[in-house]
């Protein structure tokens, strides 16, 4: 964490500014340290990443053990979260994505086209000189491109996926990363020119509440854009949800093996041969081209690793909600946004853009 970044950080519980104590520093960056608030909340910085999550005492036991002699204040963390079905699901989401994005951390391609598709009609010029928040940045593929397009970027993710974002953006100066929760981001309200969240809100126990939380961090006249799953493919989604009843309960290591087999068969026996046929004139001539699903074309542009990661994502994430354009339009309208643009990305997703008054 850059020391200058401290001015952006606020206690997510009581909203006061945080103070910093440095334990280890390298090239002007805090490697290990402590963020504390006068309300008593303490948050560790480990691996140069501030860990502003409620359960940091449990998640980073080694840190507290290592520095217990140096920490003068009692380690009061947040108020304990109620043990509800919702918090249990959040915890499972945290460990599932932490595992997923530290396994599939590699930027196997540059994802630029992919990012521009998710955020259409926004163009690269939009980002220059602005400050933005990537909410749920995962392994960092989109924040990398947003920073390359010229924005100063802050990324937040609830899971240890944030460590992969850190690794994948290490060469970029203007990227700052935090392990934190969309429901309680540790920033001052109205701090960002734009906030986006791609493929994240549908994994929250209460997606619209997460969206509303993010809107509060957009500056007046700033923009918010999101991408969520579409409910268009009713039959396929029913099959997926039936399968997930079993797969979301499997140990992650076993699920990884199953997903490797599924992805291998899908990619080498289905996607690549069909994509090859699609390019050939034969399919066009016979009119069979239309029968090839858009996903074949989509995945054929990516390396195997992307298909493998998506199989894992599909079968492991504890929560998945699906939406239609009307529902997402209503989120934006009810949040008081204007210049709203909602459209579909093939059958799979819905992207939406809006501006604050």
Ligand X SMILES: C[S@@+](CC[C@H](N)C(=O)[O-])C[C@H]1O[C@@H](n2cnc3c(N)ncnc32)[C@H](O)[C@@H]1O
Q: Are 299 and 180 in contact (CB under 8 A)?
A: no
Q: Are 79 and 68 in contact (CB under 8 A)?
A: no
Neighbours of 164 (CB within 10 A): 25
Calculate the CA 225 to chain-centre distance.
13
In the complex, the smallest distance separating the C-beta of residue 226 from ligand X, rounded to whole angstroms, is 10
Neighbours of 4 (CB within 10 A): 9
In the complex, the smallest distance separating the C-beta of residue 93 from ligand X, rounded to whole angstroms, is 5
Can you give the binding site for ligand X, defined by CB under 6 A? 93, 97, 101, 136-138, 141-142, 156-159, 161, 181-183, 198-200, 203-204, 313
Strand 131-135 versus strand 152-157 pairing type: parallel
Choice between 71 and 172, CB closer to ligand X = 172
In the complex, the smallest distance separating the C-beta of residue 236 from ligand X, rounded to whole angstroms, is 18
Q: For residues 92 and 333, give the distance between their C-alpha atoms in angstroms, rounded to a whole number.
A: 31
Choice between 37 and 201, CB closer to ligand X = 201
Choice between 119 and 200, CB closer to ligand X = 200
In the complex, the smallest distance separating the C-beta of residue 202 from ligand X, rounded to whole angstroms, is 9
In the complex, the smallest distance separating the C-beta of residue 12 from ligand X, rounded to whole angstroms, is 11
Q: For residues 170 and 347, give the distance between their C-alpha atoms in angstroms, rounded to a whole number.
A: 34
In the complex, the smallest distance separating the C-beta of residue 147 from ligand X, rounded to whole angstroms, is 14
Q: For residues 250 and 242, give the distance between their C-alpha atoms in angstroms, rounded to a whole number.
A: 14
Q: Are 327 and 231 in contact (CB under 8 A)?
A: no
Q: For residues 323 and 231, give the distance between their C-alpha atoms in angstroms, rounded to a whole number.
A: 5
Q: For residues 118 and 155, give the distance between their C-alpha atoms in angstroms, rounded to a whole number.
A: 17
In the complex, the smallest distance separating the C-beta of residue 277 from ligand X, rounded to whole angstroms, is 30
Choice between 200 and 315, CB closer to ligand X = 200
Q: For residues 202 and 223, give the distance between their C-alpha atoms in angstroms, rounded to a whole number.
A: 20
Choice between 85 and 281, CB closer to ligand X = 85
Q: Which residue is nearest to ligand X (CB)?
A: 138
Q: Are 154 and 8 in contact (CB under 8 A)?
A: yes
């Amino acid at each position: 964490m850059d020391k200058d970044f401290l001015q952006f950080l606020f206690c997510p519980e009581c909203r006061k500014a945080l103070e910093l104590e440095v334990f280890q520093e390298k090239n002007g960056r805090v490697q290990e340290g402590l963020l504390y608030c006068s309300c008593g909340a303490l948050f560790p910085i480990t691996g140069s990443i501030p860990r502003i999550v409620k359960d940091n005492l449990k998640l980073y036991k080694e840190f507290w053990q290592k520095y217990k002699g140096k920490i003068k204040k009692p380690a009061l963390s947040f108020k304990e979260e109620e043990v509800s079905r919702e918090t249990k699901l959040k915890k499972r989401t945290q460990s599932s994505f932490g595992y997923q994005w530290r396994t599939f951390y590699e930027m196997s391609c540059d994802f630029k086209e992919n990012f521009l598709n998710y955020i259409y009609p926004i163009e690269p010029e939009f980002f220059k000189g602005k400050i933005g928040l990537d909410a749920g940045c995962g392994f960092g593929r989109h924040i990398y491109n947003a920073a390359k397009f010229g924005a100063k970027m802050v990324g937040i993710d609830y899971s240890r996926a944030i460590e992969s974002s850190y690794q994948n953006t290490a060469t970029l100066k203007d990227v700052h990363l935090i392990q934190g929760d969309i429901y309680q981001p540790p920033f001052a309200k109205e701090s960002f020119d734009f906030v986006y969240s791609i493929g994240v809100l549908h994994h929250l126990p209460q997606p619209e509440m997460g969206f509303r939380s993010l809107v509060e961090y957009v500056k007046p006249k700033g923009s918010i854009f999101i991408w969520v799953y579409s409910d268009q493919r009713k039959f396929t989604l029913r099959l997926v949800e039936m399968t997930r009843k079993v797969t979301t309960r499997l140990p992650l290591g076993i699920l990884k093996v199953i997903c490797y087999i599924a992805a291998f068969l899908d990619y080498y026996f289905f996607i690549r041969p069909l994509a090859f046929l699609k390019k050939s004139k034969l399919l066009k001539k016979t009119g069979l081209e239309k029968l090839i699903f858009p996903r074949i074309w989509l995945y054929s542009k990516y390396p195997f690793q992307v298909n493998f990661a998506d199989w894992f994502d599909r079968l492991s994430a504890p929560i998945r909600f699906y939406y239609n354009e009307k529902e997402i339009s209503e989120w934006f309208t009810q949040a008081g946004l204007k210049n709203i643009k909602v459209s579909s990305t093939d059958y799979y997703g819905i992207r939406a853009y809006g501006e604050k008054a």
